A and B are shown apart, each in its own frame.
Chain A
Amino acid sequence: MMDGDASKVRKRKPTIDIISFNIIGRIMLSVFSFVCILPFWMIMVGSITSEGYITAHGYNIIPVEFSTESFRYIMNDATGILRAYGVTTLVTVTGTFFGVFINAMAAYVLQRKDFKYRNFFSFYFFFTTLFSGGLVPWYILCVKYLNFKDRIYALILPGLVSVWNMLIIKGFLGGIPDAVSESAHIDGANDFRIFIQIIIPLAKPVIATISLFTALNYWNDWYNSMLFINNEKLFMLQFYLYKLIGSAQGLQIAADKAGVVIDRPPIQSTKMAMTLIVIGPIIFLYPFVQKYFVKGITIGAIKG
């Protein structure tokens, strides 16, 4: 946790400027925090409110008619969501491991001062952040030439290399004295061994935070699923939810048209329950990982 507690060092008697600042500051932070947390609260309330209440009065902020029918409905057939969890976990773990490894390795080479062409290669990577071919050629390349349709690697490969992450790692490694690599060289270790056994342990903070950011990106990805995946067995979690919300709306309209009232699934509350199930792990892990993300941003910011 980062907090600028200069205030506790300097004991000062409260003057009008400090009092007013504290009042205004507290109000502003409270309002914004309330706005940030409210939707999460509402999802939770929606998921445990009875369908009958929602269809009659809409979603509510205060829990009124408690019911677990949405969760029971999901539990009836949870294969879809469980499979999506499985795919997402597989993609996240594989993508994060190889992605961070590849980026860190390249970053190490690019900051080695005895690597003659490091300026050329740095430019080679950096240029892609300035100019891109755009979505259309990229998409056609992936679909027509790399055969991405309905393949699991279509979910992993696109996010593997991130030039920004590479630059952040490079900036961090730049702070490690050259003498570390050189002395290992004299001992006869090759560059890869130096990287694995000496550099990675020294670069642990930056590797850890880049891993977290990469993992979050993979976990939250729906874009690649949308572009490349038609087979619902390969849907990632976020896309599974997206499809479900879409089809729930379709279901609703169809049911309304047919005038079917009996045995209608609890559509509105199920949407919220499903959303809650999808964000569950993030909310659960958030208190533990948050401070590493904050550190990570700070590392990135110093690099600038």
Chain B
Amino acid sequence: MKGILKELRRKKVLFLMLTPAFIHVLIFSYLPMAGTVLAFKQFRYNLGIFKSPWVGFSNFRFFFISGDALHVTVNTLLYNLAFIIVNNFLEISFAIILSELNGRVFKKITQSVMFLPYFISWVIAGVIVYSFFNYEFGVFNGIMKSLGLPPVDVYNSANWWRVLLVFFSAWKNVGYGTIIYLSAIMGIEHEMFDAAEIDGANLYQRIRHIMLPCLVPTMMILLLLAVGNIFRGDFGLFYQLVGTNPLVYDATDIIDTYVFRSLMTSSDIGMAAAAGLYQSVMCFVTILVVNKIVKSVQRDYALF
């Protein structure tokens, strides 16, 4: 204690410079952590978080017994898994292609175009999806009609969303990820490629045996971060593209949209808090476990 006071006096300015960020994080991150007690309470707005009556685990019991917990968890996990696999596959492929392809202008244009969707909000992505798949006016049904096929009511059929959500996640995010992998490829020593080429390895062999192994560290970091967030869904993607349509909840409801809806309709704030805490704990445990495993296999790849 004495030590910190002494340091505080000596490094007054440094402490002051740290203060705004410190207070912001205290208020917006640590206070809500304390607020998770709400998960064990029946929230009454007039009484506030700390004076509302305790109800033990009944919020959790309700969340799990209703069957919602299992269903939204499975959806969150499977979607995130699909995003991780599809996006990383495309990102790595495109990064390799962009690094080895001939034709400077072609690469410049395609890379710019691929990166463009990253810059728009999910609201606009929602409008785009709507104008493609809207039952009456959508481009998609226009094409179906002109081919003499019956129109599809995408917004009311759960199965379509399983494909569309994965598709649009890739549409928006692959450009960004490609640049990360491309910058990793740029960092590889080129002597290795030249040596392999002289030794008679063809392009595919060079990619397979030199480039891919060199991308493993980047891939591991990105995977670790993604897996650590595997219980956390991309709220904007799901909320803006699908909206709130009970008919497709089976296929599109994730923990984040579930918590948001419970909070907004004020139906059961205690249970929403319980679901949120469950999500945070699952995330926390996952990242610790995965990091531990990675650390025991290959120390360098661990996050902390």
B residues 71-126 with Cβ under 8 Å of A? 90, 93-94, 97-104, 106-117, 119-124, 126
| CB within 8 Å for A136 and B203 given contacts A121-B18, A128-B25 | no
B residues 160-184 with Cβ under 8 Å of A? 171, 174-176, 179-180, 182-184
What residue in chain A is nearest B270 (Cβ atoms)?
A136
B146 CB, min distance to chain A CBs, angstroms: 9
* B241 proximal to A (CB < 8 A): no
B72 CB, min distance to chain A CBs, angstroms: 14
CA distance A272 to B128 in the complex (A): 9
Contact B127–A6 (Cβ < 8 Å): no
* B36 proximal to A (CB < 8 A): yes
What residue in chain B is nearest A37 (Cβ atoms)?
B113
* B34 proximal to A (CB < 8 A): yes
CA distance A223 to B237 in the complex (A): 12
Contact A32–B273 (Cβ < 8 Å): no
Q: How many residues of A contact B (CB 8 A)?
A: 107
Question: Which of B49, B131, B240 meets A42, CB within 8 Å?
Answer: B131
| CB within 8 Å for A137 and B112 given contacts A6-B190, A195-B17 | no
Contacts of B141 in A (CB 8 A): 58
Contact B100–A21 (Cβ < 8 Å): yes
What residue in chain B is nearest A5 (Cβ atoms)?
B104
Q: Mark A12-39, 1 if CB is under 8 A from B, else 0.
A: 1001011001101110111011011101
Contacts of B217 in A (CB 8 A): 304
CA distance A167 to B259 in the complex (A): 29
**Chain B interface SS verdict (over half):** helix
**Chain A interface SS verdict (over half):** helix
Q: Mark B199-234, 1 if CB is under 8 A from A, else 0.
A: 000111000000000000110010000001000000
* B186 proximal to A (CB < 8 A): yes
Contact B202–A36 (Cβ < 8 Å): no
Question: Which of B7, B137, B180 meets A59, CB within 8 Å?
Answer: B137
Contact A297–B183 (Cβ < 8 Å): yes
CA distance A53 to B211 in the complex (A): 52
Q: Which of B21, B107, B142, B221 has the most CB of A within 10 A?
A: B21
* A85 proximal to B (CB < 8 A): no
* A261 proximal to B (CB < 8 A): no
* A275 proximal to B (CB < 8 A): yes
Contact A133–B259 (Cβ < 8 Å): no
* B294 proximal to A (CB < 8 A): no
| CB within 8 Å for A126 and B304 given contacts A22-B101, A29-B98, A279-B124 | yes
Kindly list 18 other residue pairs between chains A and B, CB separation below 8 angstroms, not including A10-B197, A61-B139, A130-B287.
Answer: A15-B203, A22-B103, A25-B97, A25-B100, A33-B109, A36-B117, A39-B128, A58-B137, A58-B141, A105-B21, A106-B22, A110-B18, A124-B25, A130-B288, A272-B131, A282-B120, A290-B115, A302-B183
What are 13 pairs between A and B in contact, CB < 8 Å? Answer: A3-B111, A106-B21, A109-B14, A109-B17, A114-B11, A133-B29, A135-B263, A137-B32, A140-B49, A141-B31, A191-B17, A282-B119, A302-B183
What 3 A-B pairs come out closest when comparing CB atoms?
A: A134-B276, A137-B35, A133-B32
Q: Which residues of B contact A (CB under 8 A)?
A: 3-4, 7, 11, 13-18, 20-22, 24-25, 27-36, 38, 43, 45, 48-49, 90, 93-94, 97-104, 106-117, 119-124, 126-128, 130-132, 134, 136-139, 141-142, 171, 174-176, 179-180, 182-187, 190, 193-194, 197, 202-204, 217-218, 221, 228, 235-236, 240, 256, 259-260, 263, 269, 272-273, 276-277, 279-280, 283-284, 287-288, 304
